[in-house]
Amino acid sequence: MNTRFYPQFKILLIDDEVSFLRSMSLTLERQGYNNLMTCSSPQDVKNIVSTEQVGLVLLDLTMPIISGQELLNWFTEEHPDITVIIFSGLNQIDAAVDCVKKGAFDYIVKTADQEQILESIKRAINTQELSLENHALRTQLLSNTAQKSDYFSSIITVNNQMYSVFRYLESIGQSNQPLLITGESGVGKELIAQATHAASKRSGELVTVNVAGLDDNIFSDTLFGHSKGAFTGADKQRSGLVERASGGTLFLDEIGDLSPASQIKLLRLLQEGEYYPIGSDRPKRIEARVIVATHQDLAERQSEGKFRKDLFYRLRTHRVDIPPLRERSEDIPPLLNHFMRVACEEMGKAPLKIPKSLPSRLMHYPFPGNARELRALVYDSVSQTQGETLATTPFDAILENVSIQNFGEEKVKFSENQPLPTLNQLSEMLVNEAMLRADRNQSLASQMLGISQPALSKRLKNMKEANSE
């Protein structure tokens, strides 16, 4: 079995008291922190830091030869990117204030209760993770490489905004923080989740759960599992999908529809990193990265009181919004080609020719169902095609109404201070605009105008005659 180390960086425990190092290591390991290193000779610290990727230091204040104070000074000057928590046997306010002023993250008395100690360590790990991610993000964005890496090769796009999304996702790929993916239905959120899982380089599985419509009991049972006898019919213990995703990614789709009771459980899972299988009073630790997606506006759901504010804020740390296809219409031709090839392969046909005017015609269609709608249309037309060229019947059916639809949605406004154009003038303006958009292709322009091609040709002739008079 693969052992996954958590956190990604080393936690270095420094104390001359070996018994304290041992008991602290045990406590941390029990909490799931297994990327640990101990050091009982302060003179070795500099050597360790130069060879290991240390992110958090738990430092004893009173030690012989080199004091904790001295080491703290060295860390803040030489390694300000490493988070340091001071441990001390003495509860001295002055010393605590002094250490925090010098840059320590926290000052903890060794005899403090365990919960307080663990809480501080958890906060420090969180802060360190975010600062590492910010650093990676900055480097990635500044490198400004517009290509997409192999992780995103299944996502067809030529759009710059999508490339920025990939760069962002790659930089936070190995983060343990949750990721929120938003965007209209069919824009490719699930594909993005799959690519992000690949970019995380986690060896575990990507486990997908659609949480829409799951009542709270089913949600808990599906995710957390149950112990034997937890409820009628639970005749044996069953682990949940959180466990199955260990070392990998748990992808919760349609998170905007999660029931209020399940929202509380998800928040606890993300905040505490723990969950209880149904019927068990022994918490388990989540060892998966969580990705959630929704086509809903979570900010709006939150302001309507349908989505918990604390959960919303917890999920927002890392987020990407995938633009709808109509806002990146340059992606329509390559997607058309891609879906045609995949469909042909699946249906055992040789790749088909795409009619020349089809891509540009489709670029005028708003695609309310986004890439999923385009995919379905292409599959439909590939299955209808008899010859070598892709049949356009399924496309013609949706494109027929394009001009009428757009006209109905957008309000045409005229300035109040100017006289209205006459119907003849308006129709002339429309014809000119359609010919411009269609690159003077009459059959395309006639479709935009909702008239036949001979009717358009006649109008154009009349307009020419009228204008030459």
Ligand X SMILES: Nc1ncnc2c1ncn2[C@@H]1O[C@H](COP(=O)(O)OP(=O)(O)OP(=O)(O)O)[C@@H](O)[C@H]1O
Residues that bind ligand X (CB under 6 A): 155-157, 183, 185-191, 253, 295, 335, 338, 371-372, 375
Q: Which DSSP state fits 245?
A: T
Cα distances (Å, whole numbers) of residue 412 to 263, 399, 415, 430, 431: 44, 21, 10, 12, 16
Contact 174, 8 (CB under 8 A): yes
* Single-letter amino acid code for the residue at 420: L
CB of 295 to ligand X, least distance (A): 4
Nearer to ligand X, 225 or 256 (CB): 256
CB of 156 to ligand X, least distance (A): 4
Nearer to ligand X, 58 or 155 (CB): 155
- Tallying the residues shown for the chain, one arrives at 469
Strand partners, 210: 253
CB of 301 to ligand X, least distance (A): 15
Query: Quick one: tokens of 34?
Result: 């297994």
CB of 210 to ligand X, least distance (A): 8
Nearer to ligand X, 60 or 184 (CB): 184
Contact 5, 34 (CB under 8 A): yes
Nearer to ligand X, 160 or 432 (CB): 160
Contact 391, 381 (CB under 8 A): yes
In whole angstroms, give the CA distance from residue 365 to residue 4. Answer: 48
Rounded to a whole number, what is the distance in angstroms from the first to the last CA of the chain?
87
Strands 225-226 and 238-239: antiparallel
CB of 347 to ligand X, least distance (A): 16
CB within 8 Å of 398: residues ≥ 6 apart: 365, 377
- Helices H, strands E: what count in the chain? 20, 14
Nearest position to ligand X, beta carbon: 188
CB of 335 to ligand X, least distance (A): 6
Nearer to ligand X, 59 or 162 (CB): 162
Nearer to ligand X, 264 or 354 (CB): 354
Nearer to ligand X, 183 or 240 (CB): 183
Contact 31, 125 (CB under 8 A): no
